[in-house]
């Protein structure tokens, strides 16, 4: 399986295309774009910030227990 945006062509195919090796000639672009509503993005960001804050507090507690300044 090849990643998106990669294509191997034969010499014969290059000849048929007058040796034009422009990627746009051989590799298409993604047809579907995923959009997310701004309120959903803001809610997700708040959730990540809350988790990050909790992890930061947990890490500070662990470092304190270890005697490491934090």
Confidence grade of residue 15 (pLDDT, cut at 50, 70, 90): very high
What are 19-50's pLDDT values in tens digits? 998 888 888 766 677 889 999 999 999 999 99
Please report the pLDDT score of residue 34 as a whole number.
Answer: 80
Q: What is the mean pLDDT of the chain?
A: 87
CB burial of 20-37 (b: ≥16 within 10 Å; e: otherwise) equals eeeeeebeeeeeeeeeee
Structure tokens at 10: 């034969």
Predicted pLDDT of residue 30: 65
Q: Tokens 């507090």 sit at which residue?
A: 57
What pLDDT is attached to residue 70?
56
């Amino acid at each position: 399986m090849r990643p998106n945006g990669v294509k191997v062509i034969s010499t014969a195919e290059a000849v048929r295309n007058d040796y034009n090796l422009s990627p746009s000639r051989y590799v298409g672009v993604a047809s579907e774009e995923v959009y997310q509503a701004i309120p959903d993005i803001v809610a997700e960001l708040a959730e990540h910030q809350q988790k990050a804050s909790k992890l930061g507090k947990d890490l500070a507690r662990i470092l304190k227990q270890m005697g490491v300044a934090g």
